[in-house]
Structure 1
């Protein structure tokens, strides 16, 4: 219980503390390159996330950061639990925004940080709004920003990886960018499997080699979604065998 309280207090306090930095990020000059801007903007969320993961007492192993290419990519990951975003922000060596449920837009300060990070809000109950969100995400990718999606659409909470919904992959196909599959193992052990209390866990983050636009452009998105899911499952199995 103490870990949960400390993490909640840290998260809330850091958001307030970060407001001056947020204003600076909102006022970055337009002449800066997308890459420079994104790296600067990501510094604060990265520190925040690294500290959160450290406070859980977990051990994080990262494999394959060298597989992250330059330029915009669509990052596709399985979704175990609430600590997936802090894990990825803290340990993935590439700035990115992500697709988030629209309810988060109501959270003060946090939503403003997400805006400068080029996150996209999705309302799954509103089909028209969802289509607009996909278009906005495509625009972000074409401008040079990377985006993360969880195509399961919900947390597996440590259970089997759910089927990947193919619609969100339209982001990559319409923008013509590579897809980077990412495998997450162990975040559900931190929170979801503990009666919603925080406990240390062994976490593995595996970044697979990118799939170029040319490799998937002629395939149906349902086929691409199935192949990505199988690749992520295979990487998790390989890690268990080797460890």
Structure 2
């Protein structure tokens, strides 16, 4: 499949990351298959997570088709880019069309990216997972690839101003071993196993992260259980 938009956009993103002097640390990209379909599953803490999750697949020469809310495709700037990169629009009132589109992509040998928390976690902890990713993998007969990103919330997240300055911000990306999705297993059980894998990768990314808050005013991006001032899931009533 020709990608006349996706690859130039990736090139532009990499150039911007150099300009911003982001410190990107990626481990585990070898777990992403070089050929064939797969469902890439990541935590969600930033509006930019799809970019960094997609970067993890570049060493394997793969491009990821992300499922994203339909409103992004209607935007005058992001819309043409999202369509050109062949991402998959999701209308939450009519999810069947997006599911079918993703399934066709997987069967065609594509990697489909999914954020099973559905929305950004404002506590920066892992929310509950919806089972759609597991069901897609089961029906298409492909593996699930767990991914965790950390540090992206410091660039652009819900309720905070964007930080696109030359910030030297570290971004940590961890990719885990494939999780199989047998058709004879309950999708809920696969989803729980997948969430456990993403949770472990997230903890690895947090341990490996090279920076800590420099003061009380800078601790907003760290979860409360790690000593930060981000709101707890209970305060936000986020399901876990």
Give the structure-2-normalised TM-score.
0.75
Within-5 A mapping of 1:1-243? 34=1, 37=2, 42-69=6-33, 70-93=35-58, 94-108=62-76, 110-124=78-92, 126=93, 129-157=94-122, 159-192=124-157, 195-198=160-163, 199-213=167-181, 216-241=182-207
Relative distance call for 1:117 and 1:169 in structure 2 (3 A) is farther
Distance 1:88 1:240 in 2: 16
Match in the other structure for 2:233: none
Distance 2:139 2:102 in 1: 10
User: Contact between 1:59 and 1:200, CA under 8 Å: does it hold in 2?
Assistant: yes
What is the aligned-residue RMSD (CA, Å)?
A: 2.3
Unaligned runs of 5+ in 2: 210-240
How far did residue 110 of structure 1 move? Answer: 3.3
Q: Give the secondary-structure state (helix, strand or coil) at the position aligned to 1:134.
A: helix
Q: Give the secondary-structure state (helix, strand or coil) at the position aligned to 1:192.
A: coil
How far did residue 223 of structure 1 move? Answer: 1.5
Distance 2:160 2:190 in 1: 35
Aligned residue-pair number: 202
